[in-house]
Amino acid sequence: MIELALTITYAAVGVSLLLNLVRLARGPDPTDRILALDTMVINAIALIMLLGIAQHTTLLFEAAMLFAMVGFVTTVAFCRFLLRGDVIE
C-alpha cells in the first residue's frame, strides 16, 4: 500500500517541480520567480520526507526541518530586496 502511495506522490512532486521550473523560467515578474523558488523548496521538503519513508530512516528529517525553518528566510530576503532594496535596515 505504502509503495503505491509513494509512487503516486513521487510522480506528483516530480510534476510540480517541473511546473515550478516552468514558472521560474517564464516569470514574467521577479515575484513570480521568487514564488516559484519558494514552492520548489516546499516540494523539496516533501521529497525529503518521501525519501525518508522509502528508505525507512528518520535521518533525513532534520534536513526537511531545516528547509522548513530557514528556507523561507531566503524568500523574505528576496522580497525585502524588491520592496526596499536593503535587506537589513
Q: Which residues bind another protein (CB under 8 A)?
A: 10, 13-14, 17-18, 21, 24-25, 30-31, 33-34, 37, 40-41, 44, 47-48, 51, 59-60, 62-63, 65-67, 69-71, 73-74, 76-78, 80-89
User: Nearest distance from residue 61's CB to another protein, in Å?
Assistant: 10
CB within 8 A of 33, min separation 6: which ones? 23, 24, 27
By beta-carbon proximity to another protein, the closer residue of 37 and 53 is 37
By beta-carbon proximity to another protein, the closer residue of 53 and 71 is 71
Helix/strand/coil (H/E/C) assignment for every residue in 28-62: CCHHHHHHHHHHHHHHHHHHHHHHHHHHCCCCCHH
User: Nearest distance from residue 53's CB to another protein, in Å?
Assistant: 13
DSSP type of residue 87: S
